[in-house]
Structures are given as structure tokens and as C-alpha cells.
Chain A
Amino acid sequence: MRVIKSKVITQTVAKLCKKAAYILPNDVLKSLKSAQSKETGLAKKILELTLKNADIAKQGIFPLCQDTGSAVLFVEIGQEIKIQGSLEQSLQEGIKQGFKENYLRKSIVFEPLFERKNTKTNAPAIIHYKIVEGKELKINLMLKGGGAENKSQIKMFPPTASKEEIINFILSVVKQAGSNACPPFIIGIGLGGNFESAALLSKQALLRKAPNKNKKYKELEEEILEQINETNIGAQGFGGKITALKVFIEYAPCHIASLPCAVNICCHAARHVEAVL
């Protein structure tokens, strides 16, 4: 059985924090450049500055956004590996180290309602574990800003709902997010599953880089993107042709009574990085 030391996991997660916070992924850069070429006036200027921001951030002094987010980890554990030490602790320690060493903002409070005391480490990260076949440990880190996360929504549709009803709901979520959630967005959609799994699917959708493998869902992604870009919200909400850069749908089997639809809004600082051990 392959053994992975917890220390290696901690070091890996700490490195991922730096990469995610300071370097905008190439696919997002490419989409921003394409958006900039389609815009004019204020929207074009804003997108130019967005690209300049990415340039400054990659020098490693200032992260892309001051909201370096809550840390969300998607961890796939190959069933043929053994972790030496505590997996949970090593992941949380990686977040603590990564946030401290790289001067990232500590944005997590211990409890939501009464004291709201800052944990001062940005831990705990929100961790989703999955046991898979194989001998690898795959770690995906997403740094998710609060502004865009606040504008995400879920709705439980009846099973006979039409495609148009689903699209209208997604458009209403995007319009409500508007200028508050730092457009241009990347939209993650979870369709099917149940209440909690639809929300998780919508977040996992944000990790994807390529279009949907299913032809019908790929077309639906394109249709939704086109309609979102007709809203004229534009970069920073000042108006423009590009309100979203990408729409990604993940879907899952669901109950005969249900059609859950979750919409997770992500700002243009789509920060997610992967490591495989």
C-alpha cells in the first residue's frame, strides 16, 4: 500500500494557497482578454485594468483580491493509499500555513451569530472528501470570496419544470447578484441530486475548465451564457456585453418528485488549483 506522509500534504496545501491567491488561471485570463476585445468604453477600460491587476498579482506582492476567501478543498482519496498521520489535520494545517506565510486575509469567524470572533488562521477550510479507485491523492483548492458566495441561490423545482423556467431562475439569480458580486462572473450550476448535493454540484462545476461532455447540457450552458450576456450588467455592473465569462453545469440523478437547481456565483477572480500526490 502506498503511504503518503501528512507533512507532504500540509506543504502541498500551503503551496496551493499561494498559487491560487496570486495567479489567475490561464483559462480565465484568456476569457478576460476575449471579453476585453468585444467591449468598448468604460467596460473595456475596466477589463484592461482587470488584466493589469492579474499582472501585478503574479509578481507575488499583492494577491488578486483582498478577499482571499474561505478555503474549499475537494479531496479525492485513492482507496489504495494510506495516510500517515491525520488527513484532516494535515489539510487544515496547510491552510493555516499557506494563509500565514503568504499574507492572505483571515476571513473566517468561529460561529456565525453571536460573537463572530475571527479564528485568525482562515481555518477551518470546508473539506469535501471522496473515496475513489487508485493510488493517488488529488487535492483541489478553491478560494471563494464572500461577495459572490452571498449571491448564490438554490431552488427546488417540480420535476415537470421546463428548461425555460430553469433558465429564468438562473437569470434572476444573476440579475440579483449584479454589481454586488464582481462581474464578469463564472456561473456554476448544479442540476438534480437533492437539496445539499445540488449546491455541492454547483460549486464543483466551478472547477471545470472544458465545456460539458454531454451535448444537451453543453448547448444549455451556451444558451444560458448568451442570455446572461444580454442582461447588460457588464464588468463591475456598469453595463456591457460581457456579464459572464463561462457557465458550467454539473448534473446528477434525482428523485421522481424533484428537480433541484443551485446557482453558485463566482467572481472573475476564479481561484482554484489542483495538486496530485
Chain B
Amino acid sequence: MRSYKLINPTLSNLKKLRSGDFVFLSATVYVLRDMAHKRLLQEKNFPLNLKDKIIYYAGPTPTKKGQPGGALGPTTSSRMDKFCKEFVKKTGIIGIIGKGARSKEANSCMKDNLVYFAALGGLAALGGSCVKNSKIILYPDLGPEAVYEIQIENLPLVVAQDFKGKNIYGECL
């Protein structure tokens, strides 16, 4: 099992990763899930600059007083499959963090564009302990489904699909 520490990775750093690699990621990630995808793609002018950024499909718990953020873990990526192609095209993101196998269409739109990381589902206390800063940057009315900008340090991830499209899950949905 290959294991890497990545700090603010660029696309060329991410290209070196292979499916199945274990990664400790330190970076600023943009956290969003179902409703934020739906709204963002309905906007006339896309309100975020996500070029060369990593997004994370998640909805954290509220931040406790004195803490930098709440519990953070992945939600099921496949629910975002229907938005994936348009989202990747519109944003130029270089990484997605989520969990679980995705559709053939989602896998093929990630291939040659970005790396798909699996965060560890249900391990959100561990995820929360890697959060250094967290703030809502868009759609606060969505509550846990708002868009967050979260700074993470040493978040454990597994490369689920590498840049060339090799996928750990074997079969797609």
C-alpha cells in the first residue's frame, strides 16, 4: 500500500497518484452536496471560482463553540452523478472527495480531468479532528447543505479513481 502526504496539491501532483493509494491531504476544500449542486448549476453566472480546487461531497455537523469546525465525513457520491459532467466542465476542479462507486458516466467525466478520492464513510469524528478552519461561503439558508470552505490537515483518503481512470471499486453502479 503506497502512502503519501499531499499539501495543497496541484494537478500534476495528483496525476502521480494511483488507484488504491493512501493519502493524507492538507488543503482548502469546497464542501457541497445535493441541493448546492442543483442551485449552482441553475445560476446564470456561476458564483464560485473552483478552478484547480478540490471539492468534497459532505454536510458537516454544526461547529461547537471553540472548535474550528464540526464532524466531517463523506456523503454518497453517486447522488451527485447526474451533475458531475456539467460541474466538472463549468469549474475546472482537479479533485473530488466523496464515497462509493459511481456511474459509468460519472467515472468517464472524471477520467483525464481529476482524481476521485474516497473519504472514509462514517469516520467523521476523525475527519472533524483534521479540520483547521471552516466557514459557510454560499447558500447559508441550506443549513447543513450550504457550501463550506474548509481547511483540512492530514485528512486520510484513499484514491478511488486515479487520473487515468483506474477505479478501486471494480464495477460501476
Contact = CB atoms under 8 A, between A and B. Distances in A.
Interface of A: 41-42, 45-46, 49-50, 52-54, 56-57, 61-68, 103-107, 116, 118, 120, 145-147, 150, 178-182, 236-238, 267-269
Contact of B99 (A42, A50, A150, A182): A182
Contact of B61 (A104, A116, A268): A104
The 3 A-B residue pairs with the shortest CB-CB distance, nearest first, are A182-B121, A62-B128, A180-B100
Contacts of A57: 125
A179 B99 contact: yes
Contacts of B143: 106, 118, 120
Contact of A41 (B1, B72, B73, B122): B1
Interface string B121-157: 1111111110000000000001111000000000010
A179 B71 contact: no
A123 B95 CA distance: 35
28 contacts: A45-B22, A46-B120, A49-B120, A50-B120, A53-B126, A54-B125, A61-B64, A62-B125, A62-B129, A64-B71, A65-B71, A66-B59, A66-B73, A67-B75, A103-B70, A105-B59, A105-B144, A107-B144, A116-B35, A178-B169, A179-B99, A179-B100, A179-B118, A180-B76, A180-B99, A237-B101, A238-B158, A269-B122
A64 B125 contact: yes
B122 A180 contact: no
Among B64, B75, B122, residue most surrounded by chain A Cβ atoms (within 10 Å):
B122
Given A53-B124, A65-B122, 4 more contacts: A66-B128, A236-B99, A237-B100, A238-B158
Contacts of B72: 66
Contacts, number: 139
Contact of A179 (B64, B73, B101, B129): B101
A85 B158 CA distance: 51
B109 interface: no
A147 B122 CA distance: 10
B61 A64 contact: no
A65 B70 contact: no
A150 B75 CA distance: 12
A261 to B, nearest CB: 23
Contacts of A268: 122
B63 interface: yes
A63 B72 CA distance: 9
Contacts of A53: 120, 122-126
B70 A66 contact: yes
A66 B31 CA distance: 13
Give the interface size class of chain B: 35 or more
B76 A147 contact: yes
A179 B58 CA distance: 16
B91 interface: no
B165 interface: no
Interface in B155-173: 156, 158, 168-169, 173
A246 B127 CA distance: 26
Contacts of A237: 100-101, 118, 169
B8 interface: no
A42 B158 contact: yes
Interface in B77-124: 78, 99-101, 118, 120-124
B122 A50 contact: yes
Given A46-B120, A182-B122, A63 B168 contact: no
Nearest to A66: B124
A45 B1 contact: yes
A238 B157 CA distance: 12
Given A66-B58, A103-B64, A50 B101 contact: no
Contacts of A61: 64, 67, 125, 128-129
B22 A42 contact: yes
Contacts of A180: 76, 78, 99-101, 173
Contacts of B71: 62-66, 105
Contact of A68 (B35, B61, B128): B61
